[in-house]
Amino acid sequence: MPDLVIYDCDGTLIDTETLYGEVSLAACHALGLTEWTLDHYVDSIVGIPWSDGVKIIEAAHGRTLPPDFEQGIEDAVALRLEAELRALPGVREALDAIGGRRCVASSTSLAPLRRNLTITGLIDLFDPHVFSASQVARGKPHPDVFLHAAAEMGARPQNCLVIEDSVPGVLAARSAGMRVVGFTGVSHDRQRSAARLTQAGALAVIDDFAQWPGLVKELRASD
């Protein structure tokens, strides 16, 4: 029986991925990296710490990024967050139905992570159990943030269930010795995303939080 359910945030609980994707892709195109598409961004950047993403963009661009590149993206996204950021449909209802212990473990730095959960009205579902890759040595796909969350919550990794929207997140959960379910609710190509998450090790994939309580119940009953 899962003793602890661990939630990724961006692209799982809330749809910041679309905002960051649109803004970041536009910034890359402005630099001349015009061959990049949304698929390049999703496959290369989503699910990992931004510091690692910068290295990938620099390698593709073939030069160092301007010093204000990251801040420019954050400023552009911030202008849209208050007006556009919402929790995904059915999140609160699903979590209330599931009950039990839960926490967040995200690649997003702690301050913006808590800000985004507050904007979307979800912070009360998790507070104070909100954990970030900025609190550990390595980000996803390394297992550090999930192992940190489990340790802080007093849970054994094998008794944790993770829900993740990205391949690095699924790999991190698997590397931590946890079971993981994939989520494709914000993907622009759900079939492709589901295949990639399954290949990475997700034991199931859902695209709607209405499916989540029933799946958790099945997993608890199967133990």
Query: Coil, strand, or helix at residue 180?
Result: strand
* Nearest C-alpha neighbor of 106 from the set 131, 89, 128, 82: 131
Q: Tens digits of per-residue pLDDT, 41-81?
A: 777 887 777 778 888 888 888 888 888 888 888 788 878 88
Q: Tens digits of per-residue pLDDT, 139-193?
A: 999 999 999 999 999 999 999 999 999 999 999 999 999 999 999 998 878 999 9
H/E stretch holding 76 reads helix 69-84
The total of other beta-carbon atoms located within 10 Å of residue 84's CB is: 13
Residue 34 backbone phi and psi in degrees, to 5: -75, -15
Q: Tell me the residue ranges of DSSP E strands in 33-189.
A: 102-106, 130-132, 160-164, 179-183
CATH number assigned to the domain covering 17-84: 1.10.150
Identity at 144, one-letter amino acid code = D
Q: Is the pLDDT of residue 94 over 90?
A: yes
Residue 102 backbone phi and psi in degrees, to 5: -155, 160
Pick the CATH number of 4-15+87-222 from 3.40.50.1000, 1.10.3720.10, 3.30.1330.60, 2.170.130.10: 3.40.50.1000
Residues in the chain: 223
Q: Rg for the chain (alpha carbons), in Å?
A: 17
pTM for the model: 0.81
Q: Cα 99 to chain center, whole Å?
A: 21
**CATH 3.40.50.1000 residue ranges in the chain?**
4-15+87-222
